[in-house]
């Protein structure tokens, strides 16, 4: 019986693609808005200064603009071959999103995968989202959005660890991994596991540039639980020869509970350089509270705290609150406000890609429109 159910589940997941086997599905979203921030900086450099307030058009009120192509082919016996190509673009400028290489861009910077799915689960090879980012989005009331969320907090941890913000090869954890092999198990009573291994592809090296991660998730009874282990070698090295140095480790535990209209979330994470914790050792704590007033209107809020475990003078507290109203099934308008108190060398941002100077407290607000297609 269990096997049968798995088959049904797989069929259901790919039902939309099943009738379009010989063609592909084009999908995506365009998201833009008016943005204000009380301070700004030119880069994430420790010496960056506050250049004053900014006011402008900004891509990504909820998430970044993106587009993708996906498809699935039924090869019989309950198996399917799947592919997905997906990348972000900036709706303000038309520019493509960041690649692993500093300053570089990639057409399909989010996902470029081919894989197999069946009763065993799914297996995908290529550039893709890491399992850890889904685990974090699942356990954040603000769902790892661009404005004031667990995504910005985790990136704040990376900025503190020296990430320049101009590539996707971050020092702690990862949002995307290239050359990755990811296995996702089916759910058993709501529980599932995802395993990732990315061979480094470095000549003469077995550990050079490798990444591995394991994520445990549970989702039932209104409760989402996530546990993340991520470890990588030679990440965020600027043009240096990979040596197999184990320099990226991230642990995360998170929970979100939904009862009637109310959602509550909390999480705890640690990110460090396991080879030398004096270079990077940070703590991340989050809390969230949201209320769905009607199926079309909700308010979400979050608190995100970062701490440097090597120097207690460096810490950051961020508060964000946002209202989302669905104009239709495909279009959402939103209004959001955030405040971040950065201390010491911390430069946690409120909005993804909108840089603030170290130790400078900042307020930001955004009104946006997101249309999915």
Partner 1 sequence: MKAMNGLRVAFGVAIAATSISAWAQDGAAAGASADTAVTASGGMTAKATRQANRALRRKVYAALAKHKEIDAGDISITAKGGAVLITGTVQEASQIDTVTEVAKGVAGVTSVTSKLTVQRPFGQ
Task: Catalog residues that contact partner 1 under the rule CB under 8 A.
Answer: 5-6, 8-9, 12-13, 15-16, 27, 63, 68, 86, 110-111, 129, 133-134, 137-138, 143-144, 186-187, 189-190, 218-225, 256, 258-262, 292, 294-296, 326, 329, 372
Q: Which residue, 17 or 172, is less far from partner 1 as judged by CB?
A: 17
| Closest to partner 1 by CB, 265 or 317 | 265
Residue 100 beta carbon to partner 1: minimum distance, rounded to whole angstroms: 17
- Beta carbon nearer to partner 1, 31 or 308: 31
Q: How far is the CB of 85 from partner 1 (least distance, A)?
A: 13
Quick one: CA torsion of 267, 272, 274, 280, rounded to 10 degrees?
Answer: -160
What kind and span of H or E run contains 269? Answer: strand 262-272
All residues at 6 or more sequence positions from 54 whose CB lies less than 8 Å from its CB, including other chains:
35, 36, 37, 40, 354
- Shortest gap between Cβ of 74 and partner 1 (angstroms)? 16
Nearest to 134 by CA among 142, 126, 125, 143: 143
* Bridge partners, residue 55, by sequence: 36
Give the relative orientation of helices 150-160 and 131-138 as an angle to the nearest 10 degrees.
130
> Which residue's CB is nearer to partner 1, number 163 or number 176?
176
Using a 10 angstrom Cβ sphere, with 0-12 exposed, 13-18 middle and 19 or more buried, the burial of residue 372 is middle
Least gap, CB of 183 to partner 1 (angstroms): 16
We find the least distance from the C-beta atom of residue 65 to partner 1, in angstroms, to be: 13
Answer yes or no: are the C-beta atoms of 263 and 243 closer than 8 Å.
Answer: no
CB of 275 to partner 1, least distance (A): 30
Provide the minimum distance between the beta carbon of 317 and partner 1 in the complex, in angstroms, as a whole number: 24
Q: For residues 302 and 147, give the distance between their C-alpha atoms in angstroms, rounded to a whole number.
A: 10
CB closer to partner 1, 6 vs 354: 6
Q: Which is nearer to partner 1, 42 or 107 (CB)?
A: 107
In angstroms, the Cα distances linking 129 to 57, 58, 173, 196 are 27, 23, 11, 10
Measured from the CB atom, the residue of 225 and 356 that comes closer to partner 1 is 225
């Amino acid at each position: 019986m269990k096997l049968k159910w798995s088959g049904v589940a797989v069929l259901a997941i790919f039902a939309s693609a099943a009738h379009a086997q010989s063609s592909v599905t084009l999908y995506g979203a365009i998201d833009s808005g008016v943005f204000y921030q009380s301070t700004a900086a030119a880069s994430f450099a420790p010496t960056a200064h506050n250049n004053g307030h900014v006011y402008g058009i900004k891509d990504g009120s909820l998430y970044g603009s993106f587009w993708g192509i996906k498809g699935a082919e039924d090869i019989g016996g309950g198996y399917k071959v799947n592919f997905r190509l997906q990348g972000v673009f900036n709706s303000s400028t038309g520019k493509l999103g960041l690649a692993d290489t500093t300053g570089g861009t990639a057409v399909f910077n989010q996902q470029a995968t081919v894989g197999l799915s069946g009763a065993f689960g799914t297996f995908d090879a290529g550039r893709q989202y890491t399992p850890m980012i889904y685990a974090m989005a699942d356990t954040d009331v603000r769902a790892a959005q661009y404005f004031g969320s667990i995504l910005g907090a985790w990136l704040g941890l990376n900025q503190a660890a020296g990430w320049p913000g101009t590539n996707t090869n971050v020092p702690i954890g990862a949002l995307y991994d290239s050359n990755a092999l990811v296995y996702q198990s089916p759910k058993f009573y709501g529980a599932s596991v995802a395993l990732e291994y990315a061979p480094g592809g470095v000549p003469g090296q077995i550990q050079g540039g490798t990444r591995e991660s394991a994520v445990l998730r549970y989702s039932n009874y209104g409760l989402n639980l996530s546990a993340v282990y991520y470890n990588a070698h030679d990440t965020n090295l600027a043009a240096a020869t990979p040596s197999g140095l184990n320099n990226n480790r991230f642990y995360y535990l998170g929970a979100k509970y939904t009862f009637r209209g109310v959602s509550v979330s909390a999480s705890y994470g640690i990110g460090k350089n396991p080879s030398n914790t004096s270079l990077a050792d940070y703590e991340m704590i989050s809390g969230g509270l949201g209320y769905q007033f009607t199926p079309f209107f909700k308010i979400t809020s979050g608190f995100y705290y970062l701490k440097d475990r090597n120097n207690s003078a460096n810490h950051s507290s961020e508060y964000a609150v946002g209202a989302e109203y669905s104009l239709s099934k495909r279009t959402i308008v939103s209004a959001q406000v955030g405040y971040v108190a950065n201390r010491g060398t911390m430069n946690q941002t409120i909005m993804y890609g909108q840089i603030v100077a170290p130790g400078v407290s900042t307020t930001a607000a955004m009104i946006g429109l997101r249309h999915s297609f």
